[in-house]
Amino acid sequence: MLIHSCYLSLPIISSGDYGDLIVIENMKNIPFKIKRIFYIFNVDINQTRGNHAHKKLTEAIFCLKGSFDIEITNSNGEKVSLTLNKPNQGIVLQPMHWIEQSNFTQDAICLVLADDYFKKSDYIRDKKKFLNL
């Protein structure tokens, strides 16, 4: 496991025939204040997403439906791979970790919660450059 990433497991509140509920709260079950939320869907099954690192941004990543694989690499080149396939389980991705997402199922929906607004300058999009930092 990478030192600066952690798994999240959010409680599911089941209401029988009314369905299930998962609550996401700033600084409670998400360890940061959420400033941006986005989701990714309709990804071609042969497509790889991510392929970048952030200098300062922290994200929590979940798979709300379907599944996809995620590979995380730290700046020392150490890697961890996992499959996200449960809506209440995710990962907190700290800054300076390279992320690659692949093997999306046709129905996959990826939810990302971020601790800051989009800033183009925060992205590192060259993996060799990232590994040399």
Instruction: List active site positions.
Output: 52
Do residues 82 and 70 lie in contact, with contact meaning Cβ atoms separated by under 8 Å? yes
3-state SS class at 66 = coil
Phi and psi at 122, nearest 5°, equal -80, -15
Q: Tell me how far apart the alpha carbons of residues 8 and 76 are, in angstroms, rounded to a whole number.
A: 24
